[in-house]
């Protein structure tokens, strides 16, 4: 079984500051890990994914995440926050190459960006 825990339901940063959203996973098989972003009344958009290749994954909109097996973490970062980054962010895990396993989502972290 897979699960993810997102630390912090709400994170607030100043415009231009570092963004760090935390995600820890639990998986009985080598996981695939994902970060999705959701704007109000919209669906989920994939930011980036880890699928057992490079441990440092670059995504859209300047975001990146690093897979650390020793820490069972997949934290999302962005060097400089922009007002347009304000949204809900979800970390998700699947059973990876084990096959047809739906995504399991964390509870989400709401990012606020202060001007």
Partner 1 sequence: DAMVIQNPRYQVTQFGKPVTLSCSQTLNHNVMYWYQQKSSQAPKLLFHYYDKDFNNEADTPDNFQSRRPNTSFCFLDIRSPGLGDAAMYLCATSRVSTGGWAFFGQGTRLTVV
Closer CB to partner 1, residue 17 or residue 64? 64
Which of 94, 112, 114, 115 touches partner 1 (CB under 8 A)?
94
Residue 24 C-alpha from the chain's centroid:
10
- CA nearest neighbour of 70 among 57, 58, 59, 55: 55
Which of 25, 34, 67, 89 touches partner 1 (CB under 8 A)?
34
The stretch among 44-52, 58-66, 68-76, 78-86 that binds partner 1 (CB under 8 A) is 44-52
Q: Which residues contact 34 (CB under 8 A, 6 or more apart)?
A: 46, 47, 48, 49, 50, 91, 92, 93, 94, 103
Minimum gap (Å) between residue 100 Cβ and partner 1 = 5
Q: Does 59 bind partner 1 (CB under 8 A)?
A: no
């Amino acid at each position: 079984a897979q699960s993810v825990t997102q630390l912090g339901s709400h994170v607030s940063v100043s415009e231009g500051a570092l963004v760090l959203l935390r995600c820890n996973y639990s998986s009985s098989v080598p996981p695939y890990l994902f970060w999705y972003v959701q704007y109000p009344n919209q669906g989920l958009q994939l930011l980036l994914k880890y699928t057992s290749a490079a441990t440092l994954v670059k995504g859209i909109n300047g975001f990146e995440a690093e897979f650390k097996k020793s820490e069972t973490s997949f934290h999302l970062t962005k060097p400089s926050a922009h007002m347009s980054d304000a949204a809900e962010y979800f970390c998700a895990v699947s059973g990876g190459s084990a096959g047809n396993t739906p995504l399991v989502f964390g509870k989400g972290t709401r990012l606020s960006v202060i001007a």
